[in-house]
Every structure is written in structure tokens, then in C-alpha cells.
Structure 1
């Protein structure tokens, strides 16, 4: 079927996939990420995932089960190190680059356009950042881009039997994060209003929806059984950061992609909205804009809308190549701006600089600073633990105010003679309080942002402070280590009060 006009579909032959250059771009990024993966250390979230991977479940209060599971599998295969944990993120990054090129191919790009799409994804700040460390967004970026390719295939061919594949992919994405529902909420109305409505008819969309629910069912059951705690966490993010997220949404969208790729992105948006031959793909443009509106309305983080942004950029790659590549001076300019974007974004998002120089960039990308100082925190806690008389350590407890600190002590604390830590933050609270027989002393880590935490303990005094050794201002730098005589009530009574999500 080859029908032109609004809401049309087309089965015109696609160009051959540019396998060589696309895989070369993905391989180059994989090599770079692998070489730099262990230069700083674990991120606070990664330390949390390492512990969560030892408490495998169908859900956690702040996330579905997939990312901790991937972390556990990655360390089992590639080794228990920052590189071993991050290899799964590195591979997901390479997959995202390939999927972006496949999206460009669906949108009519030939060899040059597909290569530019792969290169554009490879040099974007967010793809580099999410390929460097394991996070829920690492898999989201890959999964959403893959869903986008499947939706483009559905719209281009009009073949409704693609719905089961889409539904299965959405179900897997739901096992990682519920945010994929925002993508569905933006794309489905866009297809109904601006696309070929025929793809929404018949049983196949319902088969896809049923598959999504079946795949995600175990986590949905876990969330329902535990009172939907992820909604509580999401509400807290919106309440705490919603205004800042809304104010920075537009500039961060452009920075995440890369300012040098803005002309390509704009060309893709114009092409999707106005080019007759791509009228079948028009829902992608309006779906992306609808997703932006939903994220702004909910006060979500700007990166939530990044994957469709890559797809819109991919739509502009073939016209950019046709305009730039035949003219030698423009060709040099195109390669130059891509190399410039790669260099700038690599310095910002990857561990290129020495840790002592990170302060110059941490204000732009604070996640880099959260990969420094965790062994030093464990060392400071160890110094505090040494102040506890040996005969009292059997009933003593180490308690931290957040999951990053608890994860760091679980990882490094044994080297300083520390017992397993406890925390009321996120899923650490679900992994249990100390026994009531642990009457103290209590070594309390970093209670400053959480005054309610300190009020649960008595006779506290500072015995050490954290110093990461690089003069780098991050959340734990100069954090106090307090030694408290004990608790104001048994742990079983205090635990609900000590639980917190923010």
C-alpha cells in the first residue's frame, strides 16, 4: 500500500542498513566508555543497586525490579567493580546508538543519514552520561528508542501485527520504570488525531496492551500489594523539584542533545510536521510535543522526554547530509561540530578530568561529583566506630540517613571493621530495622538534612567528618559522623518514624 497524504502509510522499500559505519560509531563509544568506566568510582545510585541486587524482588518502593537485576547480572558476568557493573549500561548505550540509526532508516535515511543519526546519538550528552553509569534511565533510553522504532514500523507499513511486539517492549520497559506510560499517553492520542487511525482498529492493539500488562504484571501486583509506593516517591520528586524542573526543561532538552545538533533536530521536526512523504510519521512529532507537555505539567525531570527527542533528530539527518556532505567546506564543518560536541560532552559527563578538577564542572553535571569520596566516607565512619569500646560493639548499630551512604558502607565498610549498615531511606527501610536488643551505641552518618532522624537518638556528639580528599563539594563532603549513646525508643517502634523517601 502506498497512499500519500495526511494519515497515509507507505511500504516503499527502505535503504540498506548502514551496518559498517553505524556499528563502527557504536564500537568507538563502547571502547571509550569501557576505558573510562572505573576512573572515579561508583555513583550513589549504583551503590544502592548493588545492595538491591542482593535483595531481589518484584519491586522496590522507588522502582521496579529490572535495574537492580541487570546490575547483579552485569557484575556476575563482568566482575564486581565499577567497570563490571557498568558494562550493561555501556552495551545499552551502544544499542541506543544503533536503534537511533534504525529509526533514521525507517524515516527514509540512506547510508549517510543513518551514520549521522548514529553519530548524533553518540555525541549527545545524555547518551554518553547514561552509558557511563548504571541507572534506571540507562535502560529507559534504550527501551523507549526501541519502542519508537517499532511504532515507526507500525505507522510506515500500517501492519497492525506489530502491536504485540510494541506491547511486549512496553511491558519490559514497565519492569524498569513506569514512565513509559507517559510515552504511551502522548503517542496514542497523536496517532488518533494526526496519523492513520486504521492502525488503532481491530484486536491487535488490545493484544499488545494485554501483553504489556502480562509482562509487567508481577511488578504491578507488588506495587498494589504494598500501596503503590512509587506514586509516593514520584509525588515527592514533583513537590521537591517540580518548579526547577519546569524552569530548566527547555534548555536542558537542548543541552542533553547538544547545541550543535539543534539545527538537525529542528529540521527533523519541520520534516515530520510538513513533508508529505512523511505524513505517516507525523504522530512522532506531536507525540514528542505532547510528552513535553505532560512532563512539564507533572514537574518531571527534563531527561524524561529525551528518547523521542533522539527520534525527531533522526528525522532531520538525511536532509542535513544532503545539504552538507556534497560541499567540501560544509562537510568539514559537519565533522568538526560533531567532534566538538563529542569533546565537550565527554569532558562534562565522563571521568576525563582528574577528580580534583571536577568542581569546575560539577555545577553543570552534578552526577560526576557523586562518584567521588565513598571509600573516604567509609573511612570516616570507621574512625567513628573505633571510638566505641570493644565490649559495646556487639550491641552497636551503624545508621545512615540516605541510601548512598548505606550503600557505600555496605560496599567499603568491611575494610574498616564496620558491621552491615541500616537506613530508613527508600528500600533500605524494607530490609529491616536492627533488633531491639541492639540498644546502642549508634554511629549516625550525616543527619544534617534530616533533623527528624537525629531526634530519634540520644546523647549524640560529633566524632569525625567526611573529607573526600579532593576538596570537591558533593552531598557527603564534610558530612558529620555522630556517636550517640542509644535510641529514644526500641528500634521496632522507631522504624516507621525513621522511614523516608526523599
Structure 2
């Protein structure tokens, strides 16, 4: 055991992680796929070293998970459950690095376990599911580097950053915030010598296949990121602070604030001060770039871990305070479970969807495929050989790829994100065209002629989500050959 560290609370921490995993697995098959998961399923069928909006790791995980456990929501999400459980263990390890004894480590694990971010990302596979795990692992390694001053830790840090880059480029923001924080508020000697450059080189080597793919394709992820900022930047900035608190849990905010104060001013954690300023710098970068609020979530758990031991010291010896602490954790668990996990009947989802809209996006995909199947049936059989099924966004295209065969549908095409790279239809497919949900993308409908509505989507629960009441249009022919239309039909947001 490293000098200065308490014994790791292995059994209690694993018990907490296992409890969350069991809860997630019990609920994992309720509702259905999320739109992003349907996209990952399709991307997993087109494995590549990169995609226009992401590196290859999450689609690869989707492919592996469904190959092992079946192509169902439950089969896809096993990997997300395991990542969430591992994140809880890493949070306790971070607390240990920050001086927590076994009680503080257990509180850190429990705080992560009841947080909305861990529960949500353990239920649904997304790029953030792996990011949360990877960033927590990097955080533990950085804490070990700062605590020991052993610069050889830059090698595992570099390897971890390289793997994180194979999932999402956002880890570069973490590096951009942490390195200056170490330089100006920490032990700058850990930046000297050959180990940091070697760690950077290792990160580049691990991430090289995706970096090469991005360079060959003109760095499309930059285009996607710019589109997100242009479209949602103001909303992202206005909701940044509230969403940080909600994703953690309002009842845990005092622990998080205590951790931030301890990292900034506590003499016993002077060596860890870069973590506090790195987190604040990361928040500033995300706000400046107009990124989504969850981009800055993983370090929240590191800061929370710093505040756990003082809370245990104040509360656990006093029975009344101990009971209050347990009650607060149970309250957070109950509220966040109701919001992020599929415990409510679908018709009651509006009660929580206004806070966490992703829950409503897991309902209605088979019904969408049924509506599109009804529209396809309106095409005379003799014309279906040259007909095309075209979806306006990747969620709808992914749903039709997953459920379309059950409704007599061919594989869909779409110009959204990497679906555009898996098309276009052949020029011999001269129509008719069945077009799904073009309202948000007027340039799509303009590419076809003589369009009229033949069906409309109804998820059967009167639940307002992006696809509810989406029209299905039957168009006679494309306005030009597909090879000429395709650049106009491509869109990134």
C-alpha cells in the first residue's frame, strides 16, 4: 500500500458498485433504444477508424456488446452498466488519493452511485458513458502523479488519454485546462524532463488511427462541433450551471462545494490544488466554446471526492447527523432514479422528461417503423424495386435499419452525420421516395417532387418527443440523380 494512503474500502465500495449494476440491469430492458444508440448500432455495422461526428470506440463497444448479449436495449447496455460500476470504484479511489479513509471512500462511492450522471450514463450507452469512466481514470492517475511527484506516471496518463481520444476529442479540453493549472498552481517540476513528452507521444500513437482518418476526411468533427456551438451555444451557456448541479444532485452540492474549497485552500491538499483550478478552467473553456453542459461533468466527481472525508468526520460520530446523511443519499437516489431510469410508465414520462428529455427519446421507435411501413404499402408493388426510403435524421434512419425489416421495409438512406457516408442510393433508384420527418430540414423536401403525406407517427402514449406526429411523405421522384443530390442532402446537425 503506498505510503500515506489509507486501506482501500474494497468490499463496501464493490458492494455499492454492484448494487447500482444490479439496479441498472433490472431496468435496462424497459422502454427502448435511444436515438443515439440506434445510430451506434448502425455505425457498428460500418466499423471504421472514424466517423464524421465521433471516433470509433463507442460504435465498436456497441458492436461487441450486442454480439455478446444480443441486439436489444438490454444487450447493448451491458457495457454501459459495467462502465458506470467501474466509475463508482474510480471515484472511491480518487477519494483515497485525496486522503479519505474508508468512510470517506465509501461516501464518495455512494455519492457517485446516487448522482444523476452515473445513473443516466449507466442506463444508456453513449460516448459520455465511456468518457466519464476514462476521465475518472485519468483523474486518479493525475492525482497519483501530483501526490507522489513521480513523473513516470505520465506514461499511463498518456496511454489513458490516447484511449479517451479514440472515444471523443473532448479530453483535449481537460488537458488544456489541467496542464496550465499544474504549471501555475502546483508542483511544476512534474512537467519537466522527458516523461511528459513521452506521455504525449504515447497518447498520439494510441489515437493515431483516428487522427489519420480525420485528417484524410478534412477534420469533419470540427465542422460538427462548430454546428453544435452555432445552433445551441446560447442555450448551452445559459443552462451550464443548473445542469451541472442537476447532473450531480442538488443534495450533494454542499459536499462538492466543500471539496472545491478544500482543494483550493486546504493545506493538506496543497499538492492537489491544480485539480480545482483545472476544473474551473475546463468550465470556462466549455462556456467559451458553447459546448454542451455535460462536457464538464466528469471532474465534478473528482471534486466531490475531495469533500467526502470532512463530511464523514463531522457527521458519522453523531447518530442524528449520520441518519441525516443517509437520508440525504437515499433521497438523491430516489429522485435521480425516477428521473433517469425507466421506472415510470411511458404515459407518465412528461413528469420527468422536462428535466431529462432523453427518457422520452427511448419511446416510439417500433411505432415509427410501423407508420413508415404503412407509407411503404402505399407504393404500388411494381414501383418498389426503384423506390427509396429516406430518413431526415440518424435516429429515424437507425430505427428503420433496426425495425424496418419487420415491416417489409428496405434499408434506409439518410444524409445525416455518417449515414451520408453509407449512401447515396444508386442513380437507377428513380423513385418514388418515401420521406420521413423533413420539417426540420427544408432542404431535404425541396430535393423531391410532388410530395404528399401518407402516414403520421404516433408512439401510442401521447408522449411529446422529437418523432411524435412526424409526417411520412410519399414523393414521386428525386429532383436530380442521387449522385448530384447527395452533397445537398448531407447535414451535420
Fold equivalence (TM over 0.5): yes
1:145-177 CA deviation, whole Å, 9 max, x = no partner? 000000000000000000000000000000000
1:490 aligns with 2:490: no
- How far 1:13 sits from its partner (Å)? 2.0
**Structure-1 separation of matches of 2:59 and 2:69:** 15
Matches within 5 A, 1:105-254: 105-254=96-245
Question: TM-score, normalised on structure 1?
Answer: 0.97
1:337 aligns with 2:328: yes
- How far 1:12 sits from its partner (Å)? 4.1
SS of equivalent residue, structure 1 residue 481: strand
Q: Which residue of 2 aligns with 1:277?
A: 268
Q: Which residue of 1 aligns with 2:87?
A: 96
Q: Which residue of 2 aligns with 1:7?
A: none
1:51 aligns with 2:42: yes
1:29 aligns with 2:20: yes
1:383-420 CA deviation, whole Å, 9 max, x = no partner? 00000111110000100000000000000000010000
1:350-375 CA deviation, whole Å, 9 max, x = no partner? 00100111012111100000000000
Q: Which residue of 2 aligns with 1:397?
A: 388
**Structure-1 separation of matches of 2:256 and 2:167:** 28
SS of equivalent residue, structure 1 residue 500: coil
Matches within 5 A, 1:306-345: 306-345=297-336
Which of the residues 271, 275, 279 maps onto 1:288? 279
Which of the residues 463, 468, 493 maps onto 1:472? 463
**Structure-2 separation of matches of 1:453 and 1:80:** 31
- How far 1:76 sits from its partner (Å)? 1.1
**Structure-2 separation of matches of 1:437 and 1:274:** 70
SS of equivalent residue, structure 1 residue 482: strand
- How far 1:260 sits from its partner (Å)? 0.6
**Structure-2 separation of matches of 1:304 and 1:327:** 38
- How far 1:286 sits from its partner (Å)? 0.4
Which of the residues 451, 457, 463 maps onto 1:460? 451
**Structure-2 separation of matches of 1:416 and 1:306:** 40
SS of equivalent residue, structure 2 residue 297: helix
**Structure-1 separation of matches of 2:68 and 2:187:** 45
1:197-233 CA deviation, whole Å, 9 max, x = no partner? 1100000000000000000000000001000000000
Which of the residues 28, 33, 39 maps onto 1:42? 33
Which of the residues 396, 399, 407 maps onto 1:408? 399
**Structure-2 separation of matches of 1:196 and 1:78:** 47
Q: Which residue of 2 aligns with 1:74?
A: 65
Q: Which residue of 1 aligns with 2:54?
A: 63
Stretches of structure 2 lacking an aligned partner (at least 5 in a row): none
- How far 1:458 sits from its partner (Å)? 0.5
Q: Which residue of 2 aligns with 1:442?
A: 433
1:256-302 CA deviation, whole Å, 9 max, x = no partner? 11111111111111111111111000000000000010011001111
**Structure-1 separation of matches of 2:73 and 2:395:** 15
Q: CA RMSD in A?
A: 0.6
**Structure-2 separation of matches of 1:308 and 1:359:** 30
**Structure-2 separation of matches of 1:85 and 1:333:** 38
